[in-house]
Every structure is written in structure tokens, then in C-alpha cells.
Amino acid sequence: MAKKNYFLQIFFIFLSLFSLFKLYDNSAGHDAWQYGEWLINYQYGFVRRGLVGEIIFLFSNLLENNIQIAFLIMISSVCILYYYFSYQLLKQIKFNFIHYFILFSPLFYFFFVVISKVGVKKEILLYLFYIIYLLNLSSKNYNLSNNWKYFLTYFLLLFNHEVAFFYLPYLILPLLFVIKKNNLRNFIFQIFFLGAGSLLIIIILYYNKGSLEHTLSICRSLGSYAPMKCDWWGPIYALSNDLFVNNENVPNLFFYLTGDFNTNISFAFYIFYSFIPIIIFLNFSYINFENLTINKNIFLYLCILTFLFSLPLFHMTEDWSRWFSIHIHLISFFIFYLYKNKLIYNNKSSKFRKIDDFLLGKKFKNYFMIILFIFATAFHHHHFFFKGVKLEFTYYKIFKKIENSF
């Protein structure tokens, strides 16, 4: 068992405190995007993305209809649980320099810290679900029949935000490491049920995607706690828009073809830069497939399919950094799951051991952590991809703000 990692404890305490501060700041300012997204409800009838908002609305009845306090209690609890279970997933792993690199990917835990307009979005529930799911698969008492309760929970996540559908293959990947040949028929039936049930829900959500009446009724139901510009800006207003029309009521079909050269290059660099920890991981890691039902080629094809499955999301919506961030989160959790269950190895090469000993040695470890922090925070890119959006150097931007304040 790995020694207690005090760095992880401090790391997740910091993230928890930052999240709580961010939630309070967004709710106090009635932010249209970061606060308003959570408040979509069913007060005009069933509509996509309304499940959590309806629960917040009903919970507020116990708090003298104070929706703001209900929001803070519920979403703060989600954040604390998310970081708590993140720690549970990682705490037994003996960390090497690759693990630290992954933690500090700009699109992982630091994504909403650096990109201030991202905030605590609804995908945090997907992350929390996935971590608990992986912990269940890691349990000594795991049984294939346990999957049903997680699949049903996943269906509920689709009513929270349909984006979870485009990351469905991530539920299948870890199962490939626990199923036995005599359970293949049951496994295939479960996957068919998961896929068919998810597709049916997406069809239902599409035909209940929202209307202007939903927007106006939801805004009225929130009263004085409604987000700023509720009826003409933000996620609640977006319910009244066509899927291929943005919040400014401008058609955005094939929006990604309008980007200029600088936009394309800067965004490609930002994504590549954020995936460097995963590239390092792939360079030094290997999986032992000897005792598994699948082989290396099947696993590789499924990994490629997992990314391809999400491509329609990139075609329909502009929040590309968010969609890549979700990939980074789920990939990283999956990698840590493999480490936790000793299904993946690094120490095969002397080159890896030399790098690990140097970076995590007593003389250099503190400098390594500083370098990682700079790596995670150096560049700043908006969470969306669109013409004219530029990659910025975070520290220069901070310096200019300080300079302009005097």
C-alpha cells in the first residue's frame, strides 16, 4: 500500500475551497452561465437539462423558497463529494512523475481554476458518477449484476445534461478489464441495454428541447433569484433557441470552418499542450493483457471509437475546450483506475526510473511542483472555439490587469 500522500490531501482541500468560493461568487452575482445553468427546471413542464434544477427548486421549499441557498447547499455538497471520491480513487496509488503530470494538465482539475468563465458546470456530476463507478469496479466484491444500478444512474445523468451521452463508451472501457469469458453474453446484453436506453432518452430529450414558453416560465419561477439576463442570455434562454443557432440568435452550423489561421493554430496548440501528460503516459506505460478477455488491438480500436463517438458534439456546439476537458477527466480517471488495480506498469525501462528518481528526488521535487503549477496555469484559452478567439499567456494577462488598475 502506498504511503499517505499529504500533497493529494492539500491539493483537494485547495480545490474544494476554491470551488465553494466560486459557487458563492457566481450565486451572489446571479451569473447567467455558471449559476443559471443549474436552475433549469420543470415549472413549465418536462424539458432537457431540467432535472437538477427541479430538485433545487423543490428543495428550496424547505428553505422558505430561497433558491440561492438551496443551490449553494446542493452544488457545494456535490463539489465536496467529487473531491472526496477523487482522493479515494488516488490515495492508494504510489505516485510517480506521470501521475503528477496528469493531475496538472490544464484541462483537468485546473481547468475551471484558470478559465474563470467555465465555473462548476453540470459535467461535475458525470465525473462524480464515473469515479464512484470505477471504485465499484475496483471492489473485491464486484459482481457484473451491480452494473444495472449504475446504468440506471447514468440514464438520470442524461436528464441533467445530454452531453453525457457522447461519453458513454467510457462506461464500457473499464468493464473490459473485469469481465470473464463465461460472462460475455451477459456483458453484451448489458451494453445493448445501456446503448438502446441512452439513445431512447436522447430522442425524448430532442423532442423536448425547449421553447420560449419554457424560458419565460422558468425565469418567472425563480423570481428574484433568477440569473442575470435570464430571458435573453445564458443556458435558460438557450432552451428557446434552435440547436444550430447560438445565444446571439446567429446560425452556427459549421461554425468551426469560419476560424482564421491564428484561431486554428492557437487552439490546436492549447489542446496538444493539455494532452502532453497523456502523451507522456502512453510513452512510458504498458498494459498486461495476458489475463484479460480482450487483446491489445481490440482495446486500441475501442479507445479510438470512444473519441469518435463524441465528434457530433463538436459539430453541434462551440464549447470545444469543455468537451476536450471532459475527455481529459474521464481518460485520467480511467488511467488512475488501471493503476489502482495494478493493470498498468511504468517501471519497465531504466529511462523511466532515472527520470522519476530525478524529478521526485529530495533535491528537485519542490522545483518540479512549481514547474507543474506553471505548466497548468501558463496559458489561457476561452472554453469555446470560434473565429477570433485567441490563446493568451495567463501571467501577462494578470500583469496587464494589475497595471491597468493603477
Confidence at residue 257, expressed as pLDDT on a 0 to 100 scale = 85
The residue among 62, 61, 57, 63 whose CA lies nearest residue 41 is 57
**In this structure, are residues 323 and 313 in contact, taking their beta carbons and an 8 Å threshold?**
yes
361 found inside a domain: yes
203 found inside a domain: yes
Burial of 74 (0-12, 13-18, 19+ CB in 10 A): middle
174 found inside a domain: yes
DSSP 241: S
For Cα atoms 80, 178, 186, give the angle at the middle one, nearest 5 degrees.
110
Number of domains in the chain: 1
Rounded Cα–Cα distance for residues 282 and 334 (Å): 13
Q: What is the pLDDT along the chain (406 residues), one digit of tens a residue?
A: 456 788 999 999 999 999 999 999 999 999 999 999 999 999 999 999 999 999 999 999 999 999 999 999 999 999 999 999 999 999 999 999 999 999 999 999 999 888 877 889 999 999 999 999 999 999 988 888 889 999 999 999 999 999 999 999 999 999 999 888 888 899 999 999 999 999 999 999 999 999 999 999 999 999 999 999 999 999 999 998 877 776 666 777 888 888 788 889 999 999 999 999 999 999 999 888 887 888 888 888 999 999 999 999 999 888 999 999 999 999 999 999 999 998 888 866 888 999 999 999 989 999 999 999 999 999 988 888 888 888 889 888 778 777 777 6
Looking at 177-261, which runs of residues are DSSP E strands?
A: none
145 found inside a domain: yes
1 found inside a domain: no
Confidence at residue 389, expressed as pLDDT on a 0 to 100 scale = 85
The domain of 130 spans 6-404
**In this structure, are residues 38 and 52 in contact, taking their beta carbons and an 8 Å threshold?**
yes
Q: At what angle do helices 147-160 and 51-60 cross, to 10 degrees?
A: 80
